[in-house]
């Protein structure tokens, strides 16, 4: 149990520490239990098997693509939500954030009825010779769907914190809106944008439910690392555990990088809900 730091009264009752410790253990213990089950002598061969490497490569590629899409659509969304005023703004924000609380499998079904062969847009795309469902593109779309809110939340918070005063000054100095965006707004919120992008990448990497529903599980095409782990668990528990550990390592790295960045700049807004929701499939 921690002693109060010299010079500051924090008013936390002692029993709170006990509950906090239990909470921390609840998160750490399962990870430790999994690490204890790793077949270390076989670890390298297990994670470098052909199917593992294919899945890992696909995961990294699709997550990078999803993150790029999140930036392309998320930055404008965050700007519109943070800076302008219009009717239905609260409603738009609520809908953009919906994937945060939506079970990913529901997202997958929704995407299927949009881009699937019989879907809202899918029928026209099909006629144009473009098929999206059950392709690598579908993986990217599914991941973007669930990861977009993380970038929007992070960036909107950063934009609100930065405020509009620098932009106003820039405009009176003769800078048009696009110049202001490029030379003032984006540089000012870069830390928030970076942490949002990192969180989106992490969420994409862990995506399972929407991907399986909308893109299926085709090796080398749509079978990302989480899907590979789920599959391996049936046949080769050692491989599943080893690959899980790889994902844990990636997640820890990503979260570590994000929080270090925030500590340094004190700007970007955190979206810690992200890690909690990673396991809702």
Partner 1 sequence: MQATVDARGFDVGLDLAPGETVAIMGPNGAGKSTLLSVIAGLLRPDSGKAEIDGKVLFNLDGGASVWTAPHHRGTALLAQEPLLFPHLSALENVAFGPRSSGTAKKTARESARKWLAAVDAGELEARRPAELSGGQAQRVAVARALAANPEVLLLDEPMAALDIHAAPLLRRLLKKVLAGRRAIIITHDVLDALMLADRVIVLEGGRITEEGPTRQVLQRPRSRFAAGLSGLNLIPGTLTAAGIRTAEGLEVAGHQDEEAAPGGAGRPGVAAFPPSAVSVFLSDAHGSPRNSFRVTVTDLEQHGDQIRVRAGGMSADVTPAASADLGLVPGMNVYFVIKAAAVAVYPA
CA 259/CA 256 separation, integer angstroms: 5
Kindly tell me which of 49 and 265 has the beta carbon lying closer to partner 1.
Answer: 265
One residue of 53, 169, 237, 249 binding partner 1 per CB under 8 A: 169
Burial of 219 (0-12, 13-18, 19+ CB in 10 A): middle
Q: Are 74 and 148 in contact (CB under 8 A)?
A: yes
Residue 19 touching partner 1 (CB under 8 A): no
CA 112/CA 242 separation, integer angstroms: 32
One residue of 106, 171, 181, 273 binding partner 1 per CB under 8 A: 171
Q: Which stretch binds partner 1 (CB under 8 A): 110-118, 135-143, 181-189, 249-257?
A: 181-189
CB of 239 to partner 1, least distance (A): 47
* DSSP assignment of 108-139: HHHHHHHHSTTSTTHHHHHHTT---TTSHHHH
Residue 187 touching partner 1 (CB under 8 A): yes
Kindly tell me which of 75 and 102 has the beta carbon lying closer to partner 1.
Answer: 75
One residue of 170, 227, 241, 254 binding partner 1 per CB under 8 A: 170
Q: Which stretch binds partner 1 (CB under 8 A): 20-28, 47-55, 149-157, 170-178?
A: 170-178
Kindly tell me which of 164 and 216 has the beta carbon lying closer to partner 1.
Answer: 164
Q: Are 208 and 227 in contact (CB under 8 A)?
A: yes
Helix (H) or strand (E) holding 261: helix 237-265
Residue 173 touching partner 1 (CB under 8 A): yes
Structure tokens given for 223 = 């079978």
Mapped onto helix, strand or coil, the DSSP state of residue 200 is helix
One residue of 133, 141, 188, 205 binding partner 1 per CB under 8 A: 188
Structure tokens given for 15 = 């029993």
CA 76/CA 241 separation, integer angstroms: 39
CB of 186 to partner 1, least distance (A): 10
129: alpha, beta or left, given left = phi > 0 and alpha = psi -120 to 50? left
Residue 14 touching partner 1 (CB under 8 A): no
Q: Cα dist. 160→31, 79, 80, 127, 260 in Å?
A: 36, 10, 11, 44, 21
Residue 184 touching partner 1 (CB under 8 A): yes
CB of 157 to partner 1, least distance (A): 18
CB of 178 to partner 1, least distance (A): 10
Q: Which stretch binds partner 1 (CB under 8 A): 13-21, 143-151, 163-171, 194-202?
A: 163-171
CB of 268 to partner 1, least distance (A): 14
Applying CB under 8 A, the residues found at the interface with partner 1 are 165-166, 168-177, 179-180, 183-184, 187-188, 190
């Amino acid at each position: 149990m921690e002693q109060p730091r010299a010079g500051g009264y924090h008013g936390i009752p002692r029993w709170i520490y006990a509950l906090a410790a239990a909470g921390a253990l609840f998160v750490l213990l399962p990870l430790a239990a999994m690490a204890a089950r790793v077949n270390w002598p076989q670890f390298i061969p297990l994670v470098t098997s052909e199917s593992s490497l294919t899945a890992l490569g696909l995961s990294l590629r699709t997550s990078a693509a999803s993150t790029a899409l999140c930036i392309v659509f998320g930055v404008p969304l965050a700007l519109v939500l943070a800076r302008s005023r219009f009717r239905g703004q609260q409603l738009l924000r609520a809908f953009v954030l919906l994937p945060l609380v939506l079970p990913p499998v529901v997202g997958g079904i929704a995407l299927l009825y949009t881009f699937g062969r019989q879907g809202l847009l899918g029928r026209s795309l099909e006629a144009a010779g473009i098929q999206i469902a059950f392709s690598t593109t579908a993986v990217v779309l599914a991941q973007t769907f669930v990861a977009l809110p993380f970038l929007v939340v992070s960036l909107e918070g950063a934009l609100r914190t930065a405020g509009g005063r620098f932009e106003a000054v820039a405009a009176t100095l003769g800078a048009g809106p696009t110049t202001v965006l490029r030379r003032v707004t984006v540089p000012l919120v870069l830390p928030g944008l970076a942490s949002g992008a990192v969180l989106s990448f992490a969420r994409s990497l862990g995506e399972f439910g929407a991907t399986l529903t909308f893109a299926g599980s085709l090796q080398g095409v749509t079978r990302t690392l989480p899907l590979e782990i789920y599959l391996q668990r049936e046949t080769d528990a050692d491989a599943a555990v080893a690959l899980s550990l790889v994902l844990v390592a990636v997640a820890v790295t990503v979260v570590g990088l994000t929080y270090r960045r925030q500590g340094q700049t004190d700007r970007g807004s955190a979206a810690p809900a992200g890690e909690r929701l990673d396991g809702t499939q």
